[in-house]
Amino acid sequence: MSSERVRLYELMLVISPEADDDGVITVQRIVELIASHEGIVSEQEKWGLRRLAYQIKGFQEGQYVLIRFSLRSSQAREIERALVAAEDVLRHLLTLSL
C-alpha cells in the first residue's frame, strides 16, 4: 500500500477549435485518463471558444476547459505526458489547487 499523498489539481486546457463536438470527446478522453490513473474528477467547466492572445499551431481561437480533480502526485506526470502528446490540446497548465 502506498503512503503517497493525494493532491488536488486544476487543469486548464486550450483545445483546438476543430476538435470534434466542441472538444467534448477530447475532454472525455482526458477525464477517462485521470480515472484510469485512480484520480477523481470533481468539476468540469467549459468556458467556450475564445480568442487567443497569440496564434498557436495556426489557430487564432481555442476552446477553454477547466478540470478540477484529485490524484496521487506520482500520477500527475503521466497525465502531463499524455497532454503533451494529445493532438487536439493546443496548450495546458496543470497546477496544484489550494
List pLDDT tens digits, range 33-66: 999 999 999 999 999 999 999 999 999 999 999 9
pLDDT digits (tens, 9 = 90+) for 15-35: 999 887 767 888 999 999 999
Q: What is the pTM of this model?
A: 0.89
- Report the C-alpha gap between 53 and 26 in whole angstroms: 22
Buried b (16+ CB within 10 A) or exposed e, 49-63: eeeeeeeeeeeebbb
